[in-house]
Amino acid sequence: MRLLPRNNEEGWTPYAWLIYLASLFVYPLMAESGLAIWVATVSSVVIFLALYFRGYWLSGTPILPIVAAITVLGVLMAPINSGGSVYFVYATAFLGRSGPTGRAIRWLVGIVAVLGIETLVLDLHPTTWVPGVIFGVLIGAINIHYGEIGRKNATLRLAHDEVERLAKIAERERIARDLHDLLGHTLSVVVLKSELASKLADQDPVRAAQEIREVEAICRQALTEVRQAVKGYRTEASGIQQELANASRALELARVAFECEQDDLTLAAELLPRQESAMALALREAVTNVVRHAGASRCWVRLFKDEASYNLEVSDDGCGGLAPEGSGLAGMRERVESLGGRVEREGNPGTRLAVSLPLAIASVDP
């Protein structure tokens, strides 16, 4: 049977505090008290030890009956043993574990008041009530103070653990978005090139071999990017101009005519890294969806800046409609909105995707 819980933060010190029980035996020894005083003193100590060690298993409201019981021991022992006032001190010491500071202070005042009333009624000797009042108030106030600090620290630890949990969730979501953006576009190009190589295998083996070599190069590049994303090193996309080149190649393979309009050729230079990353990944996801789902014959991309924002528009003449957003569009929306931007989608006729990022982001971007 354990006297103290395994997770007791005070270690061995609860045993050390029992040294103050020695004061209970000073009076009987000095006064050469009879057997009755000794029996009452030893019995009170046995009862106290049971209450004392039980108190370390409790906190909050459940410990208040322990405090009350120890106070009663003090009331019973003080008239016959001047050392009995030590029980009042032990009672106040437990108030640090009793919960809210206001309630603990009220109990402290109440315990001191009980000792004061008993002193007035029974005319206790100062050697009885003075130590009880002084040390009861001093130790009780200190323990209440540190109890409040302990509760605040526990709350901070819980908050810290919650922040860590949310950070891990956010990091998993970031990696998931990056992997989707990387692999979604790359695999679409790989499928298209593989289909083309299969068709050319008999008619033009040289061209088919070239396509397969390009597939190999694309896969190696994708593998490198995936490793970087998993390690957390890759936080930016390859850039707007590179993504435009990738989009042109993917749409050409899918036999979709591609037109690009850049109203401001310096737009990419003005974008901050996080902005360009979000814009490039949005372009990649939009073009991937055109290749995979639109059934379009033409695709238009427009990059421009107005008075309030940087803008990207991707539209096609495909089947249109507003199907539920998959993980790619949802990740795009989260990434853009985290920078204060917005994503709009229209599905009739064809599909139009518009992404805008505020110019003001430059003032807060690290």
Of 111, 129, 162, which one is at a domain's C-terminal end? 162
Provide the number of structural domains found in the chain: 2
Rounding to the nearest 10 degrees, give the CA dihedral for residues 193, 328, 298, 301: -110
The closest of 215, 225, 223 to 249, measured between CA atoms, is 215
The reply to whether 288 and 158 lie within a common domain is no
Of 145, 162, 179, which one is at a domain's C-terminal end? 162
Using DSSP, state whether 272 is helix, strand or coil: coil
Tens-level pLDDT at each residue, the chain (366 residues): 688 887 777 788 899 999 999 999 988 888 777 888 999 999 999 999 999 999 999 988 999 999 999 999 999 999 999 899 999 999 999 999 998 999 999 999 999 999 999 999 999 889 889 999 999 999 999 999 988 888 888 888 888 778 778 777 776 776 676 666 666 667 777 777 788 788 877 788 888 888 788 878 778 777 776 676 666 544 445 578 888 888 888 888 778 898 888 865 456 567 788 888 888 888 888 888 888 777 888 999 998 888 888 899 999 988 877 777 777 788 888 888 888 899 998 887 788 899 999 885 544 444
The domain of 324 spans 238-366
Using DSSP, state whether 59 is helix, strand or coil: coil
Asked if residue 174 belongs to a domain, the reply is no
The reply to whether 154 and 27 lie within a common domain is yes
Half-sphere exposure of residue 48: CA atoms within 13 angstroms, side-chain side: 28
The closest of 268, 217, 219 to 239, measured between CA atoms, is 268
Question: Tokens 């049971």 — which residue?
Answer: 50
Please state the φ and ψ torsions of residue 357, each to the nearest 5 degrees.
-125, 135
The reply to whether 47 and 134 lie within a common domain is yes
Structure tokens given for 245: 């080149």
**Strand ranges in 109-232 using DSSP code E only, listed in sequence order:** none
Per DSSP, 11 falls in state T
Asked if residue 313 belongs to a domain, the reply is yes
**In this structure, are residues 267 and 305 in contact, taking their beta carbons and an 8 Å threshold?**
yes
The helix (run of H) or strand (run of E) holding residue 308 is none
- Domain of residue 278, CATH code: 3.30.565.10
Question: Tokens 């990419």 — which residue?
Answer: 268
Question: Tokens 């807060």 — which residue?
Answer: 364
Of 162, 191, 218, which one is at a domain's C-terminal end? 162
